[in-house]
Amino acid sequence: MNMNTVYSMNDVTMAAALLDVNAAEEVPRAVSTPGLRAENVDVYYGDTQALRDVSINIYSKQITALIGPSGCGKTTFLRCLNRMNDVVDGCRVSGNITLDGQDIYAPDVDVVELRSRIGMVFQKPNPFPKSVFENVAYGPKIHGLAEHRTDLEESVVTSLQKAGLFEEVKDRLHQPATGLSGGQQQRLCIARAIAINPEVLLMDEPCSALDPIATSKIEDLMWELKENYSIVIVTHSMQQAARVSQRTGFFHLGDLVEVSSTEKIFQNPVDPRTRDYITGRFG
């Protein structure tokens, strides 16, 4: 999808219709203290401020969608949540981000261990140049989650099953993962991410490089995975946000303009900037 797409009123009508469908299903309510919390987060690349005073709660067993025009800060913020911005030269993050009450930017935090608790799936499928089995087994191996070969095999099979991929690859587990289709590779990357039992799963436009059929499978998978994980997805597709998420945050020019239930964001936004984006006046 073109990042500069201007959405038509027909797109918005379709998104609203999708919300009506979701409304007929049980939508999880935010309960107790959020597992992942960001407060007053600022991000700078050198002297340029990319994010300003962003605060948001990420609740368990929900999908939170981050929407907004290209360059608004969605991915920058997503990468703050598991410290991926640490590898960007000149990037500086201030404010407070906590996971289960622990400051993830504290000096004594093991970043490798943190990323085992907050997994990430990227925009383009990026399987390792290894077999299907070795791709999924990699995380449990390096984190010491499987003491014996049988434990490792069970972990791989379970993760592939959760990712809805096992039946498609069970006869090619030891063949190169690069031989899979794009949609299968993305589901393999999801299986790889969940193999280390994270609490949170970050997804940066996971369907942007996929065809509609593969996209549908990924969205169905996200709906199933939210029963066990907190999921945060960055998407340029308002229809996708409407289909899969329970909460939506709208970013614009480095500001988190508003965050609320997906239904409220699409049908009754508070800020006129959100309304203008939803109705296609800019984007």
Work out the percent of the chain whose per-residue pLDDT is above 70.
87
Domains in the chain, ordered, with CATH? 9-26+41-278 (3.40.50.300)
**Tell me: the pLDDT tens digits for 116-128?**
999 999 999 999 9
**Tell me: the pLDDT tens digits for 14-32?**
454 444 433 333 344 544 4
pLDDT at 205 over 50: yes
pLDDT at 144 over 90: no
pLDDT at 219 over 80: yes
CA-nearest of 67, 69, 29, 89 to 78 is: 67
Please answer whether residues 238 and 10 qualify as being in contact, where contact means their C-beta atoms are separated by less than 8 angstroms: no
CA distance 210 to 221: 14
pLDDT at 102 over 80: yes
Please answer whether residues 256 and 56 qualify as being in contact, where contact means their C-beta atoms are separated by less than 8 angstroms: yes
H or E element that contains 114 = helix 111-117
SS percent in the chain: helix, strand, coil, step 5: 40, 25, 35
Tell me what pLDDT residue 3 has. 37
**Tell me: the pLDDT tens digits for 153-180?**
999 999 999 999 999 999 999 999 999 9
H or E element that contains 53 = strand 48-58
Tell me what pLDDT residue 33 has. 54
Tell me what pLDDT residue 53 has. 97
Tell me what pLDDT residue 24 has. 31
pLDDT at 57 over 50: yes
Name the phi and psi angles at 223, rounded to 5: -60, -35
pLDDT band at 257 (very low <50, low <70, confident <90, very high): very high
Structure tokens at 166: 């096992």
CA distance 213 to 211: 6
